[in-house]
């Protein structure tokens, strides 16, 4: 794994390219292409991408946060790599989102939900553009970061909390695997779920 740059484009953004090798990517794609991912839903609207969550699930239709299927064994080695990249323990990544982006699919502007803290995304199969923006008094500061296949990015600190991000629609099939730690709020909500 090599870091693409020493000085981040935005504070808190870290990129590794490559993050995994071609054989690791092929094995992950073989698993991902065999899964029946569900259309992403947001307040009654159905998105172009298809997803599945493990560990914990945030429901955008009713804003609920609840346990999901446990992480499958085949994701544990990649979670370990993501943890080393982020400087956390593997068990800290308690949420994993698998996503399939067919041609023309992307993600609109957003910040990850406040139940989550650090975010590591692994990009597979084709390139993408991670777009970043921060609101200012006169508009937006903007930046963009190309994501090559087999690369990974970390969002923490300033870029995680003070900037929005999106993924530009692509022309080819792409998959991503995103790992998230829980924030203090997320840990309190998770504990409340365990007690009830």
Domain range holding 21? 13-195
Using alpha carbons, select from 53, 1, 36 the residue that is nearest to residue 177.
53
Tell me whether residue 45 is in a domain. Answer: yes
Tell me whether residue 2 is in a domain. Answer: no
Could you give the number of structural domains in the chain? 1
Q: What pLDDT digit, counting tens, does each position of 146-191 carry? A: 999 999 999 999 999 999 999 999 999 999 999 999 989 888 888 8
Q: What pLDDT digit, counting tens, does each position of 122-151 carry? A: 999 999 999 999 999 999 999 999 999 999
Tell me whether residue 189 is in a domain. Answer: yes
Tell me whether residue 60 is in a domain. Answer: yes
Tell me whether residue 7 is in a domain. Answer: no
Are the beta carbons of 144 and 132 closer than 8 angstroms? yes
Q: Within a 10 A sphere around the Cβ of 62, how many other Cβ atoms?
A: 6
Tell me whether residue 1 is in a domain. Answer: no
d(CA 61, CA 46) in angstroms, rounded, equals 10
d(CA 176, CA 100) in angstroms, rounded, equals 7
Tell me whether residue 143 is in a domain. Answer: yes
Tell me whether residue 3 is in a domain. Answer: no
Domain containing 76 — which CATH number?
A: 2.60.120.590
Report the Cα 134 to chain-centroid distance in Å.
Answer: 19
Using alpha carbons, select from 118, 111, 124, 121 the residue that is nearest to residue 93.
118
């Amino acid at each position: 794994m090599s870091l693409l740059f020493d000085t981040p484009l935005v504070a808190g953004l870290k990129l590794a390219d490559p993050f995994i090798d071609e054989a690791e990517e092929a094995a992950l794609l073989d698993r991902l292409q065999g899964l029946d991912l569900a259309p992403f839903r947001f307040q009654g609207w159905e998105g172009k991408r298809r997803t599945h969550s493990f560990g914990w699930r945030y429901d955008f239709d009713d804003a609920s946060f609840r346990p999901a299927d446990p992480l499958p064994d085949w994701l544990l080695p990649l979670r370990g790599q993501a943890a080393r990249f982020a400087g956390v323990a593997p068990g800290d990544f308690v949420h994993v989102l698998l996503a399939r982006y067919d041609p023309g699919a992307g993600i609109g502007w957003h910040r990850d939900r406040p139940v989550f803290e650090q975010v590591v995304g692994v990009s597979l199969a084709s390139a993408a553009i991670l777009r970043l923006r921060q609101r200012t008094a006169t508009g937006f500061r903007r930046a963009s970061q190309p994501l090559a296949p087999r690369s990974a990015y970390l969002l923490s600190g300033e870029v995680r909390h003070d900037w929005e991000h999106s993924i530009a629609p692509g022309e080819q099939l792409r998959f991503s695997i995103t790992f998230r730690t829980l924030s203090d709020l997320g840990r309190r909500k998770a504990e409340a779920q365990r007690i009830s």
